Amino acid sequence: QVQLVESGGGLVQPGGSLRLSCAASRDIFSINVMGWYRQAPGKQREVVATITKESSTNYADSVKGRFTISRDNAKNTLDLQMNSLKPEDTAVYYCYGFVIGPIRGNAYWGRGTQVTVSS
């Protein structure tokens, strides 16, 4: 089992910044893909950004140029730097990890952290 714990959420004004962090219970060398998802009330959970073991990144069009995903292998953490925040970024943000096994893969989720962008 892999436990993922998010932190860093809060209330911020439009145009402001927040930095989210996800702590993993084991070394992230073994996690093939990590990422951040978000879910707003009444909407489906959507991918925000992902990063592979090889440090290849992908971003949703809505956050390109504003958000940056990174991983710190020494600390076993995944971060999301969020700049130029907009009200539509308001959501619960979830940390995600995918581990490839011999015959199947396993997905792991954190419990989420609330981000609210409002004036």
Rg (CA), the chain: 14
Which amino acid belongs to residue 81?
Q
**Spatial separation of the C-alpha atoms in residues 45 and 94, rounded to whole Å:** 9
Supply the pLDDT for residue 30: 83
Q: Is the dihedral of CA 106, 95, 35, 51 positive or negative?
A: negative
Q: What separation, in Å, do the N-terminal and C-terminal C-alpha atoms of the chain show?
A: 40
Whether the Cβ atoms of residue 82 and residue 20 lie closer than 8 Å to each other = yes
Residue 22: phi and psi, rounded to 5, are: -125, 120
Q: Is the pLDDT of residue 114 over 90?
A: yes
Complete DSSP assignment for 13-36: -TT--EEEEEEESS-GGG-SEEEE
Give the pLDDT confidence of 65-113 residue by residue, as tens digits: 999 999 998 999 999 999 999 999 999 999 999 998 888 899 999 999 9
Give the pLDDT confidence of 5-61 residue by residue, as tens digits: 999 999 999 999 999 999 999 888 788 999 999 999 999 999 999 999 989 999 999
